[in-house]
Amino acid sequence: MMTKKHNKKLISPQILKQAIIGSFIKLNPRYMMKNPVMFVVEVGCFITLLLSFFPGLFGDAATDDQQIYNMIVCAVLFVTVLFANFAESVAEGRGKAQAANLKRTQKDTIAHLLGEDGKMREIHSGELKKGDLVMVSAGEIIPGDGEVIEGIASVDESAITGESAPVVRESGGDFSSVTGGTMVISDWLKIRITSDPGNSFLERMIALVEGASRKKTPNEIALNTLLVSLTIIFLIVIVTLYPIGQYSGVQLYVSTLIALAVCLIPTTIGGLLSAIGIAGMDRVTRFNVIAMSGKAVEACGDVDTMILDKTGTITYGNRLAADFIPVEGADRKELIHHAALTCFHDDTPEGKSTLELARRMGDSSNEIPGTRFIEFTAQTRMSGVDLPDGTKIRKGASDAIEKFVTELGGKLPNDLREAVERVSSLGGTPLTVCENNRVLGVIYLKDTVKEGMAERFERLHAIGIKTIMCTGDNPLTAATIAKEAGVDGFIAECKPEDKIEVIKKEQAEGKVVAMTGDGTNDAPALAQANVGLAMNSGTTAAKEAANMVDLDSDPTKILEVVEIGKQLLITRGSLTTFSIANDIAKYFAIIPAMFMQAIPELNVLNIMNLATPNTAILSALIFNALIIPCLIPLAMKGVQYRPMSSGKLLLRNMMIFGVGGIITPFIGIKLIDMLLYPLLGSLGM
């Protein structure tokens, strides 16, 4: 779930001020040409402005009434363009506000650069280059993105992630990556800088949220092309109406034809399209994910298959004690008591959970004075205690305990092998417990599936996303975890090349694939996937291969990121449906108003019973302008996402935004007409 830090106020006073200023700045025709639909509206505004001062310019009637009418049309068109610019400016303003917060994190810190001679000198962080080695001690800011090559330290990443708890960074492994702007709070690190000036993750994130690096996505380009095509078609229709009107004996004024064109072309979605795209990117960055492009966010909405690691993503990764299974000749309480004795100094998750489970099952034994703790080693593969009376109690891998008992002259219980296999078949890890040469039973260690994972996979299944779990476990254990979590498939004893193979196989079937990873061995698969989400705590290779980076390093976040992508596409589709459905009501408002004086039979189409042709046209035009700011909150927050099949989703959107898009204008235009009629009547119109 999104935390509170992601739920920001829609429009602050500062954003509102910047958006109003931006609305006027964007009136520049060179900028407006990037949005062809709204550019047509601006051109129409300019033409009606000329007609306001020179009403007979195009052969129209040069009366005072017509001049006032032209002025009103011009004013409404101007407001329409301003509202469209305002929608985009609000979206950009939220991004710039977030960028300002990130820029405050950026500091030109002093870096301790290590030279080839081993000597250290101080330089500004902005002078660092890729490959430089720096030393960072406790209390110092990490001067740039890099990889730890020596040392181990606690790092405060709250400036980037918002999380107050420090994280451990060390050389080697998958937790060696550090981000510029974070602070070392203990010990020291030797870091190799991995980015050149201006190309750090923080700087890329600032460019992203400011919109400086945003490019239109393929779906956005396709929709924009559709809107331009519809605009051209309606402009051709409007041009042909003029001779039709003359033939029918109807005087069609240029301002009326412009009003009709603006109402018929998809101005609503044309004014909101850019804002929807920017807001989608904004939701991702507020969720502490850096997307390398808008295409990556959009691809999330098209994901068909999701590849997930088991450990740390689906399960906690810690094997926790779940049960005690006594074997032949041993009592359950005796097994629990001896298992607890081996765990008083065992600080591993397995040891702590075993002692905790023993306490829950009623064991109250305490450590016996003089007991010697035997630590686990890779050679013995067991741990335990030697009691003062010489009793040896051990717990460990089944074959290691069997060897220990046999060497002491003991006999193995007949049902030991059955108990061990039963635990393995349940997807658990068996730990065998013995007292001297007598086997007492087995501890069932279980890799626990995270709470709520089954429900989340069920949500993904409901929208048709296939989930595949990758794990190094044996097939029996993998099958058990997969069944408990509710994933659709699994790859047991998985190697890095297996991930690439399954991604390529899914892509060959035309599917869009997403996966998470943090290690160098994940980099090839992250690069191959359509959506690759790398952990910020992971290696540089993984982050460079992926097209998204999670600053919180939460492997399960891929589930939410996919839902954000879905929400972006659903919002765009819903508002497009609403915009096109709006036009139906406008036809019934304007077409009868234009022709019913010459063709009285068309009055039957005036189902809204609008007062006069002028009020009908202006009511439709004003509604067309007002609907844009009314939809800004929906464009910014996104249409509420609910997991369901594509068919149900289409039906729901058609019922809400299709039917709603038809009904709303009928009500809105009629109300505006009722308000306009007395006002225009007082002006003699």
Which residues are part of a known binding site? 346, 350, 376-383, 395, 518, 522
Strand partners, 438: 435
Residue 228 Cα to chain centre, angstroms:
29
Single out the residue of 193, 189, 183, 271 nearest to residue 227, CA to CA: 271
Query: Mapped to the 3 state alphabet, what secondary structure does 649-660 carry?
Result: HHHHHHHHHHHH
Distances (CA, A) of 288 to 17, 233, 248, 285, 551: 26, 43, 62, 5, 6
Single out the residue of 246, 198, 174, 189 nearest to residue 540, CA to CA: 174
Angstrom distance (rounded) from CA 405 to CA 11: 71
Single out the residue of 289, 361, 331 nearest to residue 532, CA to CA: 289
Which residues does 661 contact at the CB level (< 8 Å), separation at least 6? Answer: 577, 578, 579, 580, 581, 582, 584
Residue ranges for the known binding site for Mg(2+) are: 518, 522
| Both structure tokens of 466 | 């296939």
Active site residue 64: no
Instruction: Decide if 19 contacts 86 (C-beta within 8 A).
Output: yes
Angstrom distance (rounded) from CA 214 to CA 621: 32
Angstrom distance (rounded) from CA 670 to CA 607: 10
Q: What is the CA radius of gyration of the chain?
A: 34
Residue ranges for the known binding site for ATP are: 346, 350, 376-383, 395
The residue count for the chain: 685
Angstrom distance (rounded) from CA 176 to CA 171: 5
Report strand pairing: 531-535 vs 548-550. parallel
Distances (CA, A) of 146 to 113, 268, 538, 539: 13, 46, 11, 9
Angstrom distance (rounded) from CA 428 to CA 430: 7
Instruction: Decide if 190 contacts 151 (C-beta within 8 A).
Output: yes
H or E element in which residue 480 lies: helix 475-485
Beta strands in 75-178 (DSSP E): 110-114, 120-124, 133-137, 146-150, 152-156, 167-170, 177-178
Half-sphere exposure (CA, 13 Å, Cβ side) for 486?
14
Place of tokens 């997807």: 427
Q: How many CB atoms lie within 10 A of CB 2?
A: 12
| Both structure tokens of 191 | 């870091």
Which residues does 654 contact at the CB level (< 8 Å), separation at least 6? Answer: 577
| Both structure tokens of 387 | 């009691």
| Both structure tokens of 640 | 């509420």
Angstrom distance (rounded) from CA 538 to CA 546: 11
H or E element in which residue 243 lies: helix 218-248
Which residues does 314 contact at the CB level (< 8 Å), separation at least 6? Answer: 308, 449, 450, 453, 469, 481, 485, 487
Catalytic residue, from 60, 309, 550, 583: name it: 309
Instruction: Decide if 277 contacts 575 (C-beta within 8 A).
Output: no
H or E element in which residue 322 lies: strand 315-326
Backbone angles phi, psi at 346, to 5 degrees: -95, 105
Residue type, 268: T
Active-site residue set: 309
